[in-house]
Structure 1
Amino acid sequence: MTTLNISGVPEHFNLPWHLCIDNGEFETQNINLQWTDVPEGTGKLCQMLRSGETDIAVILTEGIVKDIVAGNPSKIVQVYVESPLLWGIHVSAKSKYQTIADLQNTKVAISRLGSGSQLMAYVNAHQQGWKTETLSFEIVNTIDGAVEALTNGTADYFMWEHFMTKPLVDKNIFRNLGDCLTPWPCFVIAVRDEVLQNHPEQIKALLQIINQTTSEFKEIPSIDKTLASKYHQKIEDIQQWLSLTEWSQKPLQAEVLNNVQNQLHELALIDKKGTFAEIVKTV
C-alpha cells in the first residue's frame, strides 16, 4: 500500500475526493490517500508542496503556475474544474463602500502572499482599469480572519469564492458588491516531481478514480442536499453553483497555460514565463 498525502481547500469542489476516500476506492488500487483540509488556500498549498508536507494539491490554476515558475518542484497533471471560479467581492455589511468602483485605492484582505485572493485582486484591479502597482494588502490567513479584518476596518474588501462566502452575506456580516470570474479553468491537480518520478502508476490510477467520480458527480441522487448540508449552504445556492460548475478529466492545454502566464506577466506577478514542459506533465 502506497501512502500519498493530498491537500485542498475545505470547499464543495472537493467533495468528490471525500466520496472516493470514504468508499475505499483508492484502497482498491493499493493507495492509502490521506486528505488534509487547508482553509488558508493556495499560498499555503504551494508552501506544502515545496516542503514535501503534501504530495498532491488540488489548487487554483493561477497560483500554482506562478509558484512553479518561481521554483516549486511540482507539475500540473490535470485540470480538475474546467469552469471559471466566481470570486465574490465583499465588504463589511456596515461598510460605506457601495460599488466596486468605490474600492479603488483601498486595502484588500488576502489569505496570504501568492494566494488566489491576492492574484485575483490584481486581475480585478486590471479589469477595473486601476493601477495595480498601488494595491495594498492585509494578510488575514482564513475567511474568519477576513471577517475580523473587514469588521474592524483593518481591511476594506475581500475576494473569495462566491458561494462559500454567501452564508456570511445571508447573515448580514458581508455585503457582495459584485463578482469577478477567473479567465481560465479554476482548479488543477498538481503533484510534486519526486512523487511523479517514484509513483507514476499510482498517480495515474488515482486520476482515473477521481475522473470517474467527477464525470458522474452531478447524477448522484440528492447530491444537492448532501452538498448543502455538508457546506452549510442554502439548497438553491448549491443548485445554482452546480449549474455553473464543470469538472474536467483532461490535461491542461498549452493555450490555456499561455493565457494564464501572459496575464500574470502583464500584471508583473511573474517576471519570466516557464515552458510547457516545466509546468505540465501528462501521466
Structure 2
Amino acid sequence: MRTVKIGGVPEHFNLAWYLTLKNGDYKNENINLRWYDFPDGTGAMSKALRDGDIDMAVILTEGIIKDIIEGNPSKIVQTFVKTPLIWGIHVGANSKYKTLNDLKGTKAAISRYGSGSHLMAYINAQNNDWDLNKDLKFEVVNNLDGAKDALTDGSADYFMWEKFMTKPLVDKGIFRRLEDCPTPWPCFVIAASDDFIANRSDELKSILDIINKSTEGFKSIPNIDAVIAKRYDQKLEDVQQWISLTEWSQSTISEKSINAIQEQLLALDIIPKTVAYDKLVYKI
C-alpha cells in the first residue's frame, strides 16, 4: 500500500474527504491517503506542492493558477466546488470602520502573499473602483487566529475569509462583517504535482473516482447539516444556508473558465501573463 499526501483547509467544504477516509474507501483501493490540514490556506499549500511535501491539494482556483504560472510544477486535475466562494469582509467588533468605503486605503490582514485573502483583496478593490497601487496595504497574519489578533489590536483593519467559517466569530462579537464578496469563478479545484501525475496516474484516478462518488451524494447524507454544525461550530441555520448555496463538481475545469480567470487576474496585475490551458490543467 503506497502513501499519497493531500492537503486542504480544515473547513466544511472538505468534509467529504474526512468521511471517505473514515470509511476506509482509499484503503480498499490499496491507497494510504493521508490528509494534512492547512489552516494557513492556499499560499501554504502551494509551497507544500512545490516542495514535494504533498502530492495533491484541494485549493483555491485563483491561487493555484497564479502559482503554476509562477513556476509551481503542478496541474489542476478537476474542479472540486463549482460555485463561488463567498468571502466576508470583516473588521474588529470595536472598529471605527462602518462601511466598505471606509476601508479604502486601510490595511488588509492576509494569511500570506499569494493566498486567497490576498488575491481577493484585489477583487474587492476592483469591485469598488479603488486604486490598486495606492488603496491596498497588507499585514501578514498567517491564519484566522492571527487575523483575530490583528483586527483586535489594530495592526490590520479588515480581513477577508469565507463567510460561513467566520460566522461564529461574528456571532461572538469578535468580528463585524460589513459585506460579502463572492469569487467570480468556481472556488476550489483539485491540483496534483506533475511528478505524481506522471508516475502515479492510476492512483490519482482512483482517488478522484472515490471523492466524486462521495460529493455526488453529499447533500443527501442523513443529518449532514447537523454533522457539519457540530464539527465546525456552526449554527444549524447557517449550515443549511451554506449547503443550499454550495455545489460540488466531478468535472475538469473548462478552457473557457481558465481563460476568463486568467484575463481577470492579468487585469489586476496578479499574474504577469496568461498561459495555455494545458500548462494549467491536466485531463485525466
TM-score, length basis structure 2: 0.99
User: CA–CA distance in 2 between the matches of 1:137 and 1:238?
Assistant: 31
Corresponding residue for 2:85? 85
Instruction: Read off the aligned partner of 1:252 and give its amino acid letter.
Output: I
User: CA–CA distance in 2 between the matches of 1:259 and 1:170?
Assistant: 36
How many angstroms does 1:132 deviate by? 1.0
User: CA–CA distance in 2 between the matches of 1:144 and 1:3?
Assistant: 31
Instruction: Read off the aligned partner of 1:11 and give its amino acid letter.
Output: E
Structure 2 residue runs of 5 or longer lacking an equivalent are none
Corresponding residue for 1:115? 115
Which digits, 9 at most, give the CA deviation of each residue in 1:168-202, with x for residues without a partner? 00000000000000000000000000000110011
Give matches, 1:202-281, under 5 Å.
202-281=203-282
Give matches, 1:140-219, under 5 Å.
140-219=141-220
Which digits, 9 at most, give the CA deviation of each residue in 1:214-247, with x for residues without a partner? 0000000000000000000000000000000000
Instruction: Read off the aligned partner of 2:87 and give its amino acid letter.
Output: W
Corresponding residue for 2:105? 105
User: CA–CA distance in 1 between the matches of 2:85 and 2:280?
Assistant: 21
Runs (4+) of structure 1 moved beyond 4 Å? none
Identical-pair percentage: 57
Corresponding residue for 1:67? 67
User: CA–CA distance in 2 between the matches of 1:2 and 1:61?
Assistant: 28
How many angstroms does 1:2 deviate by? 1.8
User: CA–CA distance in 1 between the matches of 2:12 and 2:128?
Assistant: 29
Instruction: Read off the aligned partner of 2:214 and give its amino acid letter.
Output: T
2:120 counterpart SS class? helix
User: CA–CA distance in 2 between the matches of 1:3 and 1:198?
Assistant: 13
1:35 counterpart SS class? strand
User: CA–CA distance in 2 between the matches of 1:259 and 1:158?
Assistant: 26
1:132 counterpart SS class? coil
Corresponding residue for 1:49? 49
Corresponding residue for 2:33? 33
1:224 counterpart SS class? helix
Instruction: Read off the aligned partner of 1:198 and give its amino acid letter.
Output: N
User: CA–CA distance in 1 between the matches of 2:115 and 2:70?
Assistant: 14
How many angstroms does 1:160 deviate by? 0.1
Which digits, 9 at most, give the CA deviation of each residue in 1:119-175, with x for residues without a partner? 000000000000111210000001000000000000000000000000000000000
User: CA–CA distance in 1 between the matches of 2:192 and 2:38?
Assistant: 16
How many angstroms does 1:46 deviate by? 0.3
User: CA–CA distance in 2 between the matches of 1:181 and 1:258?
Assistant: 19
1:4 counterpart SS class? strand
2:234 counterpart SS class? coil
2:146 counterpart SS class? helix
How many angstroms does 1:274 deviate by? 1.5
Give matches, 1:7-18, under 5 Å.
7-18=7-18
Instruction: Read off the aligned partner of 2:265 and give its amino acid letter.
Output: L
User: CA–CA distance in 1 between the matches of 2:199 and 2:255?
Assistant: 25
User: CA–CA distance in 1 between the matches of 2:133 and 2:246?
Assistant: 32
Query: How many pairs does the alignment contain?
Result: 283
Which digits, 9 at most, give the CA deviation of each residue in 1:4-49, with x for residues without a partner? 0000000000000000001000111111000000000000000000
User: CA–CA distance in 1 between the matches of 2:163 and 2:112?
Assistant: 19
The two structures, once aligned, show a CA RMSD in angstroms of 0.5
User: CA–CA distance in 2 between the matches of 1:48 and 1:132?
Assistant: 29
